[in-house]
Amino acid sequence: MPDATCYAQVTVTLPLSGPYTYLVPDHLRPHAAVGSRVLVPFGRRTVTGYITAFAPPSKKMRVKKIIDTLDPCPLFTPGMVPLFQWIADYYIAPMGDVIKTALPGGLNVVDRQVVSLTTSGTRAADDPACPEAEKELIDILGSTPVPLKQLLDSEPPIPRSLIKVLENKGWVTVTRELSTARARAKMETVAEAAAGPLPKKGVTEKRQLLLDFLRVHGPTARADLNRKLPSAKSTLGPMVEMGLIHLSEDRVERSPLGEEIVPDTPPSLTDEQQQVVSTVSAQLTSGYATFLLKGVTGSGKTEVYMRLVEDALAAGKTAVVLVPEIALIAQTDRRFKARFGDRIAVLHSGLSDGERYDQWVKIAEKRVSVVIGARSAIFAPLTDIGLIVVDEEHDGSYKQESGLRYNARDLAAVRARMEGAVVLLGSATPSIQSAWNARTGKFKEVLLTKRVNQKPMPEIEVVDLKKYKDLPGIHTFLTPRLVEAMTQTLDRDEQVLLFLNRRGFSGAPICAHCGEPLKCRHCDVSMTFHKGVNAFRCHICGYFEPAKTHCRICNGHKIKLLGSGTEKVEEAVKDIFPHKNVARMDQDTTARRGSLLKILKGVREKQVDIVVGTQMIAKGHDFPDITLVGVICADTALNLPDFRAGERTFQLLAQVAGRAGRGDKPGRVILQTYVPDHFTIGCAVDHDADAFYTQETSFRRALAYPPFTRIILVRIADKNSGRCRTAAQKLSGLLWERRPDQGIAIMGPAEAPLTRAMNRYRWQILLKGESPSAMKKMITDALAAFRKEGGFSGVSISIDVDPYALG
DNA sequence: AGCACGCCGACT
DNA sequence: GTCGGCGTGCTC
Ligand SMILES: [Zn+2]
Ligand SMILES: [Zn+2]
């Protein structure tokens, strides 16, 4: 019986816009809904797709059938389809890519060609007459089939003809095989005692034991049963056969192991907090609005978020809380878990594919009403969203910097507008963009001006690094003034935190003979020496070079380890304070699961006196006994060729400074810099956010940068440097031809600040204008013309709308 | 993306 | 003459 659900519009997870129309077979109808993940035939392949609508084909055409539906429930809500469409338009991306980016990873099922050995093939290898090349291929295939693509792309490549030859001889076969998705529901077998009388015989003592166990404990998973009652391993089978025990398959949730969390009691709010909660809460039932919460560090923003989430739930709505990835790894979610218990789901990068899938399904099945997570949690499949919180809204990690380069903070407003929800952006140092939106009335501003503990902001002392530049070695950075302040602090039995934006030991290794920097073979950057692994490493591509290396220019063997990273500072600090415990906190010491928690615990329990760390120490940890924060060099980010350099530096300094004096004792900050008179540094020192925003805003206006214009960055990359440049010039020409007389500026093409990464040369073209739609039309048209051009088949072009870093 | 079709250079 | 290189176009 044809009805509305007879035909499904399916978007396949390929870089295609789609959708494609498929027939929904009767037996799949109950499982087919908007958001369902389906397996469909596509060309001569089988691929994964998602139902985005139900509608018959627009014209008479051959329509294929959906092969299967893949999950217990749809993975996104119908309300999210317009969001995906918006993203596809705004970021100039195919719908298939949008959906693939939005949903958890590891879900794609695709078929591929695999080559397998036949029995006669196995025998052929023993034949001495068998040519060497054929023998090699047979060896590679061994006992397990190998994907065709893997053979063709291997080094050295296996010629397609060789495979054809063996296929003709009947030694190998090429077949299509479905790859299994990495993430899927986990099932387990559950045993349950059947009702009814027992037979007179066949029920041995051990079998009776099993039956009793199940009657007492109720249905039990087989794995549990085997553990708690080992004899079940042998007794279960016969009892099932006798019909006395039933087995069934049940879906189980994998949950990441974590410490038990004690429910908390909400503290009472300060007047200011109460004021903010009432203002925002009043909006929860009146449709879309975005609030910008400016709250100094320590003013209790998190408590405000939690109250508002509670209010949203009370109004029968759901809520999403976005936090920076780093904060999540450091367990910011614990406070939310303590408050919301099993009503909350957590999404972050530390989860395995399976765990993330289970959290996702839990959200989709409405078994939770709050989601906390990093960037991608903006795509949580919640219905009836009432509130979206974006904590530390200025944080760069909300911008995805690969593939589809979306900004979750911006999408929060888009999704909220579509679903009639309220957005709360929170930060001590809002982005210039958001601050401006508040100024113009696009956002409503709410304020927390007082710290909860009533403590004043820490005092910041500036140390001019120029004065110490002739001191030996690391003392140019561990200046006498800093060491003195550290000594005083440690003598009071308080803790010190040293912030440095570079990991590793030495970030600028150079040849001692000729002065040539030691660079990566694949990228145009210096290698970083890591003492921990005793080797050089490229931070772009991971390329590894043993410590015993030589200069590529003069073959010299002595490498000078210039430039200071966290490892070098850690070592020097241990040297100066031999009786103090020093912990290092950076990507290298926290890579292993749980290692960060261990360090944090050490700091909390005061087994650690001095922490040396990168960015990640700046977020979310509240250590009352850290009373001195040392910023080793405040200018590192200030000199980057990026219009946001000042903004980022100010935000970072304010945040790092906020780590000092979180407890009862007053905090102090030593800020070292080569440019003590720089405006940005001065504002950070004076805690004068207003001055900084005023000045920075007028700078942006004068130079026509965001928020006064929109920027789109077109990135061109290719293995061949000449072709990359030619492609960039060609594309630039095509853009110029399509440039309207006014309103859009084209800058470039120019080499990217990082000229070469992973053996690909990089160029970029920057577009600046007031109308993003006009710029996008230009780009789409120029891109279409560029693709017709020919000769640029391997060149990759990617478009970054509203780039965060111009790198 | 991946797979087929099709059009040109170099090897039997 | 064929084989196989890759540029072009399509996938419900
Ligand atoms: Zn040299
Ligand atoms: Zn590299």
User: For residue A97, which nucleotide's C1' is closest to its Cα?
Assistant: B1
Identify the residue whose tokens are 């034949």.
Answer: A127
Closest CA to A504 of A525, A481, A480: A525
Helix residue ranges per DSSP H, A169-300? 205-217, 222-228, 232-241, 271-283
Q: What is the structure's pLDDT at A697? A: 97
Name the more confident of A258 and A15. Answer: A15
Considering the domain architecture, whether residues A439 and A331 belong to the same structural domain is answered as yes
User: For residue A94, which nucleotide's C1' is closest to its Cα?
Assistant: B1
Q: From the CA of A713 to the C1' of B4: give the distance in Å.
A: 35
Q: Please give the average per-residue pLDDT across A173-181, as a whole number.
A: 87
Residue A73, annotated as binding a ligand: no
Residue A130, annotated as binding a ligand: no
Cα A753 to averaged position of ligand 1 atoms, centre (Å): 25
Q: Domain end: A666, A699, A732, which one?
A: A699
Q: What is the structure's pLDDT at A164? A: 84
From A442-456, A475-489, A671-685, the region with the lowest mean pLDDT: A442-456
Considering the domain architecture, whether residues A477 and A624 belong to the same structural domain is answered as yes
From A37-51, A109-123, A381-395, A549-563, the region with the lowest mean pLDDT: A109-123
Task: DSSP letter for A476, please.
Answer: G
Q: From the CA of A161 to the C1' of B7: give the distance in Å.
A: 20
Q: Is the CB of A56 under 7 A from strand C?
A: no
Q: Is the CB of A439 under 7 A from strand B?
A: no
pLDDT band at A538 (very low <50, low <70, confident <90, very high): very high
The count of structural domains within chain A is: 7
Closest CA to A281 of A309, A319, A320, A323: A309
- Evaluate whether A12 touches A20 at the Cβ level (below 8 Å): yes
Considering the domain architecture, whether residues A628 and A490 belong to the same structural domain is answered as yes
Q: What is the structure's pLDDT at A1? A: 47
Ligand located closest to A524 CA: 2
Closest CA to A684 of A392, A397, A394, A462: A462
Instruction: Round to whole Å and give the CA distance between A44 and A64.
Output: 12
Cα A544 to averaged position of ligand 2 atoms, centre (Å): 9
Q: From the CA of A152 to the C1' of B12: give the distance in Å.
A: 25
* pLDDT value at A3 more than 70: no
CATH number of the domain bearing residue A729: 3.30.70.600
Ligand located closest to A552 CA: 1
Q: What is the structure's pLDDT at A257? A: 58
CATH number of the domain bearing residue A428: 3.40.50.300
A:283-312 Cβ neighbours of strand C under 7 Å:
none
Instruction: Round to whole Å and give the CA distance between A350 and A256.
Output: 9
Q: Is the CB of A113 under 7 A from strand B?
A: yes
Closest residue (CA) to C1' of nucleotide C6 is: A793
Question: Long-range contacts made by residues A359-367, C-beta under 8 angstroms, separation at least 24?
Answer: A360/A75, A360/A103, A360/A104, A361/A71, A361/A72, A361/A73, A361/A75, A361/A185, A362/A253, A364/A35, A364/A73, A364/A74, A364/A75, A364/A76, A364/A77, A365/A72, A365/A73
Q: Is the CB of A418 under 7 A from strand C?
A: no
CATH number of the domain bearing residue A223: 1.10.10
Determine, yes or no, domain membership for A265: no
By three-state DSSP, how is residue A222 classified?
helix
Please return the burial class of A766, using the count of CB atoms within 10 Å of its CB with bins 0-12, 13-18 and 19+.
middle
Name the more confident of A338 and A120. Answer: A338
Ligand located closest to A515 CA: 1
Q: From the CA of A13 to the C1' of C5: give the distance in Å.
A: 30
Tokens describing residue A639: 């000199």
Q: Is the CB of A160 under 7 A from strand C?
A: yes
Half-sphere exposure of A308 (CA within 13 A, CB side): 36
Ligand located closest to A536 CA: 2
Considering the domain architecture, whether residues A693 and A784 belong to the same structural domain is answered as no
Determine, yes or no, domain membership for A569: yes
Q: Is the CB of A790 under 7 A from strand C?
A: yes
Q: From the CA of A152 to the C1' of C6: give the distance in Å.
A: 15
Peptide bond between residue A145 and the one before it cis (omega within 30 degrees of 0): no
Cα A508 to averaged position of ligand 1 atoms, centre (Å): 14
> Could you give the angle at which helices A689-702 and A645-657 cross, rounded to 10 degrees?
170
pLDDT single digits (tens) A620-643? 677 889 999 999 999 988 988 899
Considering the domain architecture, whether residues A310 and A417 belong to the same structural domain is answered as yes
Q: From the CA of A194 to the C1' of B6: give the distance in Å.
A: 67
Considering the domain architecture, whether residues A599 and A484 belong to the same structural domain is answered as yes
Count of C-beta atoms within a 10 Å radius of residue A593: 11
pLDDT single digits (tens) A187-206? 888 888 888 777 777 888 88
* pLDDT value at A2 more than 70: no
pLDDT single digits (tens) A242-300? 888 888 888 888 877 566 778 888 999 999 999 999 999 999 999 999 999 999 888 99
Closest residue (CA) to C1' of nucleotide C9 is: A788
Q: From the CA of A652 to the C1' of B8: give the distance in Å.
A: 59
Q: What contacts A490, CB < 8 A, 6 or more positions away?
A: A496, A577, A580, A609, A610
Q: What is the structure's pLDDT at A331? A: 75
Q: Domain end: A699, A729, A763, which one?
A: A699
A:35-54 Cβ neighbours of strand B under 7 Å:
43-45
* Report for A77-91, A176-190, A646-660: range of highest mean pLDDT: A77-91
Q: Is the CB of A594 under 7 A from strand C?
A: no
Q: What is the structure's pLDDT at A8? A: 97
ipTM: 0.93
Q: What is the structure's pLDDT at A170? A: 84
Cα A473 to averaged position of ligand 1 atoms, centre (Å): 21
This prediction has a pTM of 0.93
Considering the domain architecture, whether residues A466 and A369 belong to the same structural domain is answered as no
Instruction: Round to whole Å and give the CA distance between A545 and A543.
Output: 7
Q: Please give the average per-residue pLDDT across A352-378, as a whole number.
A: 96
Residue A514, annotated as binding a ligand: yes
Q: From the CA of A524 to the C1' of B1: give the distance in Å.
A: 30
Considering the domain architecture, whether residues A531 and A419 belong to the same structural domain is answered as no
Cα A526 to averaged position of ligand 1 atoms, centre (Å): 14
Q: What is the structure's pLDDT at A637? A: 87
Q: Please give the average per-residue pLDDT across A517-524, as a whole number.
A: 95
Q: What is the structure's pLDDT at A259? A: 67
* Residue-averaged pLDDT of chain A: 91
Cα A571 to averaged position of ligand 2 atoms, centre (Å): 26
- Evaluate whether A317 touches A290 at the Cβ level (below 8 Å): no
User: For residue A160, which nucleotide's C1' is closest to its Cα?
Assistant: C4
Q: Is the CB of A42 under 7 A from strand C?
A: yes
- Evaluate whether A245 touches A216 at the Cβ level (below 8 Å): no
Q: What is the structure's pLDDT at A258? A: 67
Q: What is the structure's pLDDT at A218? A: 85
Q: From the CA of A15 to the C1' of B7: give the distance in Å.
A: 27
Name the more confident of A537 and A598. Answer: A537
Q: Domain end: A158, A178, A198, which one?
A: A178
* Residue A285 φ/ψ, nearest 5 degrees: -105, 10
User: For residue A96, which nucleotide's C1' is closest to its Cα?
Assistant: B1
Determine, yes or no, domain membership for A258: no
Q: Is the CB of A720 under 7 A from strand C?
A: no
Determine, yes or no, domain membership for A37: yes
* pLDDT value at A448 more than 70: yes
Determine, yes or no, domain membership for A806: no
Cα A757 to averaged position of ligand 2 atoms, centre (Å): 6
Q: What is the structure's pLDDT at A144? A: 85
Determine, yes or no, domain membership for A257: no
Considering the domain architecture, whether residues A578 and A677 belong to the same structural domain is answered as yes
Q: What contacts A548, CB < 8 A, 6 or more positions away?
A: A557
Range of the domain at A646: 459-505+564-699
* pLDDT value at A746 more than 90: yes
Ligand located closest to A554 CA: 1
pLDDT single digits (tens) A755-772? 999 999 999 999 999 999
Determine, yes or no, domain membership for A400: yes
Considering the domain architecture, whether residues A588 and A670 belong to the same structural domain is answered as yes
Q: Is the CB of A275 under 7 A from strand B?
A: no
Considering the domain architecture, whether residues A526 and A466 belong to the same structural domain is answered as no
Q: From the CA of A63 to the C1' of B8: give the distance in Å.
A: 37
Within 7 Å of a protein beta carbon, the nucleotides of strand B are 1-4
Q: In this structure, is the dihedral angle defined by the CA atoms of residues A55, A61, A65 and A69, taken in order, positive or negative?
A: negative
Closest residue (CA) to C1' of nucleotide C4 is: A161
Considering the domain architecture, whether residues A439 and A357 belong to the same structural domain is answered as yes
Determine, yes or no, domain membership for A282: yes
